[in-house]
Structure 1
């Protein structure tokens, strides 16, 4: 297959119209290294049946429902309109409280409303988390760090500058400890992410636009061709992701 044909193939990937965070299109075309912790098991370790629970940025509620926590003791927040509508359709009829939010520092709940707040890959204001938690309340967050896919972004995007470079475990711990939390567990990891064909990378880069600003097959064609040669040699193109997790308890 020559590069003209490859370009046409990659442009089809670029124009894929699937919505939201559906990456099933990449099944068997990419490989991601497992994290050295299990977010779900960590949440289950601290979650008690009678806890008032808040899931920040719940998405469609899939993870939350897998916890099987008492619905009447459960609340969720979500920012993205399609997910808000999905939560109202899927979660609200079960008795789960659904709140749309616009500002991390102004969440629509009373002071000390929750025994536990969980957050996976959602932004947060630690002062607002503190306000919402009861004394000794637990906050668990797993975050996408500011160095996520940084090397691949620099390969594809000229003069790339990461938007969230300060989002690291170290910086978050400083802020959390300053706000009267006891850190119970914290870990950072840089797993690999491998793309087995360049079409898969194109699809991914178009989805994660803040990490690949102004990405297009046309704009990055030369760089994509070089990476295609790497796939032919190694069998994949590798990126490095950035993840960290923090479990902390609000002091009295």
Structure 2
């Protein structure tokens, strides 16, 4: 294995925009959920006339679908991802809408009852009232969410125990919030998945990409922690963590409060 400084410097310079994780090939692995979200998305999109993909990142997951509906819209808030999504998706006729930070819970900049299908892969924070608002009556939400305690073995290595945060993103709680917004849950599946990091560069790149895991992360700030983890990886061959995911399918079954947003 290459020296600590070489691995860290390389990872610190690498591009982390978009949702392309191919930089980690051969350096980290993550088990995939059994339901195959990309396949489900590809099967569902051609069956509708209009769809919205929320928190699309750089559009990489959506772009895997061979057929898109006649009207396809995506939202994204991080400017580098907005630019990547436009470059990737506009040639396919997709409308890319720059939205507010999902944490702000601002309304989607889209009209009421606009879409037969709303999708999302790993939304930052599901805005259930807005999802229900932009769905047509009888429309469907299909998404893969990050679950509770995901990758917390790695996160807590840097930040220490976080018992309260571990309980966030609970699928049953989210199902209740969806129901309160006017959506009926028709499918809810969960999975706990194996993750493995084979060198410290993979850890650095991942923490730079998933900035919400260790919000104050920089190599300089955590250099001693990184050195200790590097020694652990070299001694044991890898660092093991676990991600959690849940598949959510919900349908708009009752009227919701209108809040017409600008086009």
> Do both share a fold (TM > 0.5)?
yes
Which range is displaced more, 127-136 or 218-227? 218-227
Taking structure 2 as the reference length, what is the TM-score of the superposition? 0.81
Give a deviation string over 1:75-94, Cα, whole Å, max 9, x none.
11121212222333443354
Structural RMSD (CA): 2.8
1:107 aligns with 2:108: yes
Q: Is residue 196–residue 240 contact of structure 2 (8 Å, CA) maintained in 1? A: yes
- Residue 176 of structure 1 aligns with which residue? 178
Q: Is residue 14–residue 205 contact of structure 2 (8 Å, CA) maintained in 1? A: no
In structure 2, distance between residues paired with 1:162 and 1:212:
15
Tell which structure's C-alpha radius of gyration is larger.
Answer: 1
Shift of 1:244: 1.5
- Residue 86 of structure 1 aligns with which residue? 84
Equivalent residues, number: 249
Secondary structure, aligned partner of 2:118: strand
- Residue 12 of structure 1 aligns with which residue? 9
Give the direction of change, closer, same or farther, for the CA distance of 1:138–1:154 in structure 2 (3 Å limit): same
Secondary structure, aligned partner of 1:177: helix
In structure 2, distance between residues paired with 1:217 and 1:98:
33
- Residue 136 of structure 2 aligns with which residue? 134
Give the direction of change, closer, same or farther, for the CA distance of 1:15–1:243 in structure 2 (3 Å limit): same
Shift of 1:37: 1.4
In structure 2, distance between residues paired with 1:47 and 1:89:
21
Choose from 160, 185, 188 the match for 1:186: 188
Taking structure 1 as the reference length, what is the TM-score of the superposition? 0.84
Q: Is residue 55–residue 118 contact of structure 1 (8 Å, CA) maintained in 2? A: yes
In structure 2, distance between residues paired with 1:234 and 1:90:
40
Give the direction of change, closer, same or farther, for the CA distance of 1:89–1:216 in structure 2 (3 Å limit): closer
In structure 2, distance between residues paired with 1:233 and 1:76:
44
Shift of 1:146: 4.2
Unaligned runs of 5+ in 1: none
- Residue 51 of structure 1 aligns with which residue? 49
Q: Is residue 152–residue 242 contact of structure 2 (8 Å, CA) maintained in 1? A: yes
In structure 1, distance between residues paired with 2:31 and 2:74:
29
In structure 2, distance between residues paired with 1:152 and 1:69:
37
In structure 2, distance between residues paired with 1:208 and 1:60:
14
Shift of 1:117: 0.5
Give the direction of change, closer, same or farther, for the CA distance of 1:189–1:214 in structure 2 (3 Å limit): same
Shift of 1:194: 0.4
